[in-house]
A = this chain, B = another copy of it.
Amino acid sequence: MNINSDTFRFTPANVRIVGAGLIGTSIGLALVQKGVYVEMVDLDLKSQSLATDLVGGGMNGEPSLVILALPSSNLDDVLQREFHLNPNSTFMDVGSVKTEVVLKVSKIPALAAQFVPTHPMAGREVGGAASARADLFLGRSWVITPMPTTDAKALATVEDLIALLGASAVTMSAQDHDAAVAKISHLPQIISSLLAGQLSGTKTDWMELAGQGLRDTTRIAGSDEKLWKEIIHSNRQILSGLLKNLNEDVIRMIESLDDPSEIEKILAKGRSGRELIPGKHGGKAREYSYLPIVIDDKPGQLAAIFNQCSLLDVNVEDLTIEHSPGQLSALITLALSAHDAQKLSDHLASIGWNVHPIRN
């Protein structure tokens, strides 16, 4: 759900962000750009000072919203203290596992109406205020797992905040959230770390042969283990089942190594799984038609093609450009609906463009 800016009613004027890490500081940066008064606080004074310098701003009265952007192990203490300091504020957290938080907050009845559990689906493998960026949440989903006790105004305040940061609020149960992130975030983190762990002791001259595949599959293995041990431990019950399934598949692969057709089946299952990751417009990756066009690598060529698209009322869903320094031609590939691809292909070919339609 995306709230149109006309409908912002509860946009907080003063926001206190407790936790000056990547997420907290990124929220701060984005809010200040939108004219919200922001105060960054952190137990670590160096982090607080860096975040405050980066974000600028400063509050102008009592906080209407307190955002808790810190590891779940610190949440209890901080939450009690912040509630004591700001008894009339709305509170939200941004932690990666939600059932545990919901359980904790339910035990503080006075707070339960003002607290909104959330989780922005955004992050980087580098942490800290220094890695923060105002556009971290642009176009991302931001999960809200409301409690039965959460009141409507607190919820509306948080929804407004999410819209203000350019993200899309997605409401689901804490249980569903934790099962979903176990599969799409926590399991990939564990597997990336286990894979990277296999590199231990590898000769340097072998490592020098490493390519992009190894770099991509192990990128998130560079993440902070102190942060992740908490997330994995919090979600251990669901992860145990997922790791057992994966392990069965590892064993199946070992047993299939003598049989290329069995190997192919396992790899094909992986490719199908990969295709479930949404492309544009959400949902299952749409079936686009791809239209490759060889162009001269000079300014004006793309504009010329897009002008033809405009003339024909053709909507370009995505675009890749393949070219390299010194290469005189470039290949652009447009992702289009099947109908638009046909129309554009015929038209561009008729006026002399070097089009290479892929017929399926």
A251 to B247, CA, bound (A): 7
Is A88 at the interface (CB under 8 A from chain B)?
A: no
Which one of B184, B240, B253, B298 contacts A194 once the chains associate, using CB atoms below 8 Å?
A: B253
**Of B136, B172, B267, B323, the contact of A205 (CB 8 Å cutoff):** B172
Binds B, one of A62-70, A97-105, A146-154, A278-286: A278-286
Tell me which residues across on chain B come within 8 A of A204, comparing CB atoms: 276, 278, 283-284
Chain B residues near A250 (CB-CB < 8 A) = 194, 243, 246-247, 250
Interface residues of A in 147-201 (CB under 8 A from B): 166-168, 170, 172, 176, 179-181, 183-185, 187-200
Tell me if A207 is interfacial: C-beta within 8 Å of chain B.
yes
- CB-CB contacts below 8 Å: A262-311 with B: 263-264, 266-278, 280-284, 292, 294, 298-300, 302-303, 306-307, 309-310
Closest B residue to A324 using CB positions: B135
**Is A123 located at the chain interface by the 8 A CB criterion?**
yes
Partner of A269, one of B200, B280, B313: B200
Complex contact B356–A282 (CB within 8 A): no
Most B CB within 10 A of own CB, among A138, A229, A267: A267
Establish whether residues B267 and A229, one from each chain, have CB atoms under 8 Å apart when the complex forms.
yes
Distance of A53 Cα from B240 Cα, bound (Å)? 53
A327 within 8 A of B: yes
- Within the complex, which residue of B184, B302, B324 is in contact with A134, where a contact is CB–CB below 8 Å? B324
Check A215 for interface membership: any CB of B closer than 8 A.
yes
**Shortest CB distance A5–B (Å):** 11
Copies of this chain: 2
Whether A195 contacts B202 in the complex (CB less than 8 A), given A263-B232, A278-B210, A324-B135, comes out as no
| Contact indicator A327/B33 (Cβ below 8 Å) | yes
Assess the A199–B225 pair: CB atoms within 8 A.
no
Best-buried of A195, A226, A268, A316 by chain B (most CB within 10 Å): A195
Q: Quick one: CB contact mask for A216-231 with B, threshold 8 Å, 1 for yes? A: 1111111101101110
Say yes or no: A211-B122 contact (C-beta < 8 A), given A188-B217, A294-B53, A322-B139: yes
Tell me the complex Cα distance, A180–B27, Å.
43
By beta carbon, the residue of chain B nearest A233 is B260
Are B220 and A135 neighbours in the complex by a CB distance under 8 Å? Answer: no
CB-defined contacts of A306 to chain B, threshold 8 Å: 302-303, 306-307
The interface residues of chain B lying within 8 Å CB-to-CB of A207 are 184, 276-278, 284
Assess whether A132 is interfacial by the CB under 8 Å rule.
yes
- A303 to chain B minimum Cβ distance, whole angstroms, is 3
A257 within 8 A of partner (CB): yes
A252 to chain B, nearest CB (A): 9
- Beyond the given pairs A191-B194, A228-B263, 16 more chain A to chain B contacts, judged by CB atoms under 8 angstroms and listed by A's residue number, are A1-B326, A29-B324, A131-B322, A141-B208, A168-B324, A184-B214, A192-B213, A199-B277, A212-B284, A216-B216, A225-B270, A229-B260, A229-B264, A278-B325, A280-B323, A303-B309
12 interchain pairs, CB-CB under 8 A: A29-B324, A130-B292, A130-B322, A138-B294, A138-B356, A139-B323, A184-B214, A191-B194, A198-B246, A210-B277, A236-B258, A246-B250
